[in-house]
Structure 1
Amino acid sequence: MELQLIQKKIFEIRGCRVMLDFHLAELYQVETRTLKQAVKRNIDRFPSDFMFELTKNEWNEVITNCDNLPETVKYSPALPFAFLEQGVAMLSSVLRSKMAIQVNIAIMRAFVLMRQMIIGYDELRKRIEELEINTDAQFSEIYQALTELLSDKQLEEKNRPRIGYLS
């Protein structure tokens, strides 16, 4: 399974990276209704830090911001479930097919890759900040040196006797 395909189905909602039930059902090759039924039958395995149901406002925001959602999902009266990484891992114990195991492994790899990318961005951001501090200090020194040179030259020109025709 292609990691980029999975990464496009990971959203940030409530400050968490989640996958929505209809995308997971598509990946697992089951109906969304079937996935939700399996989750509801095993609801004890899905505490709020593993899975939550979107509010109407959150769902409207997702619909507004994501133009690649299936039309059938956009107008569904049911609010989707959002699964965090641990919730997706728990799904493999609820959906016990070989496909579910393969898809789960691919999804876990996508989450890990995204985490690694974020760490890389943090390191890059820190290096850029250090570079800005260093260049700011260097430009400050250059500015001071230029200011001193200009003031020295102006003093030198004031104290210089005029050459040429004096009237």
Structure 2
Amino acid sequence: MQIIRSIQNRIYEIRGERVILDFDLAVLYEVETRVLNQTVKRNNKRFPKDFMFQLTRQEFAGLKPQIDQLHGADFQQNTSMSSQIVMTYPGKRPRTALPYAFTEQGIAMLSGLLNSDKAIQMNIAIMRAFVEIRRIVLEQGDIREQLKQIQQHITEHDVQLSSIYDAIENLLDEKAAQRKWEHRDRIGFQRP
């Protein structure tokens, strides 16, 4: 379960897709990032744009705080861009090129290319992490629907409470008017 949480922390949402970046995959598969990227380049026909894409500078800059938090201070100093061909584990060399992002399908395609036991085990864990995230998102959708229903009920109750408050205020006004009538100064003859 710990490994799945670790993987979930490495899944980002970019361009409406849940992805894992190349250097995170390299760490998970225990290979160098350059080896992973060379394998992908040798088999580029297997990786269409919906399986893998390169981040823009803005996308990478937006993710940088999350990445820095996950990888720590060593990675912060080395996340200026580096060539994908020569990039190794985070912290080893400075980055000069933008990272690649792999969708769930791209990661599944990688499993057929990286054939080590570690890669196979990690791929299974990664697929489980994606499934767990989908389950959580579905549950959040149910929670959102429940919150909408609660909000509707609260709005209805607010209207009802406002009506009750107005009715009580009217009753209090009537009672105050009646007291004034009973305690008024009488005109005319008074009995001793």
What is the TM-score normalised by the length of structure 2? 0.79
1:38 match: 39
How many Å separate the matches in 2 of 1:12 and 1:65? 12
Q: How far off is 1:79 after superposition? A: 1.5
How many Å separate the matches in 2 of 1:103 and 1:30? 12
Unaligned runs of 5+ in 1: none
Unaligned runs of 5+ in 2: 81-94, 188-192
Matched position secondary structure for 1:47: coil
The residue type paired with residue 58 of structure 1 is E
| Greater Cα offset, 58-67 or 121-130 | 58-67
The residue type paired with residue 125 of structure 1 is R
What is the identity percentage for the equivalent residue pairs of Structure 1 and Structure 2?
Answer: 40
**Residue-by-residue CA offset, 1:91-147 (whole Å, 9 max, x unaligned):** 001111111111000000001101100111110111111011112212311220221
2:79 match: 74
2:150 match: 131
The count of aligned residue pairs is 167
Matched position secondary structure for 2:13: strand
How many Å separate the matches in 2 of 1:58 and 1:38? 24
2:27 match: 26
Alpha-carbon spacing, 1:15–1:91, altered in 2? closer, same or farther (3 Å):
same
The residue type paired with residue 163 of structure 1 is H
Match 1:120 to one of 130, 133, 139:
139
Alpha-carbon spacing, 1:113–1:58, altered in 2? closer, same or farther (3 Å):
same
Q: How far off is 1:19 after superposition? A: 0.3
**Superposition map of 1:142-157 within 5 A:** 142-157=161-176
How many Å separate the matches in 2 of 1:52 and 1:140? 52
8 Å CA contact retained: 2:7, 2:126: yes
1:141 match: 160
State the superposition RMSD in angstroms: 2.0
**Residue-by-residue CA offset, 1:32-70 (whole Å, 9 max, x unaligned):** 000000000111111100100112222222224432342
Query: Relative contact order: is structure 1 or structure 2 higher (C-alpha 8 Å, sep ≥ 6)?
Result: 1
1:93 aligns with 2:112: yes
The residue type paired with residue 50 of structure 1 is F
**Residue-by-residue CA offset, 1:17-40 (whole Å, 9 max, x unaligned):** 110001101111111000000000
What is the TM-score normalised by the length of structure 1? 0.90
2:183 match: 163
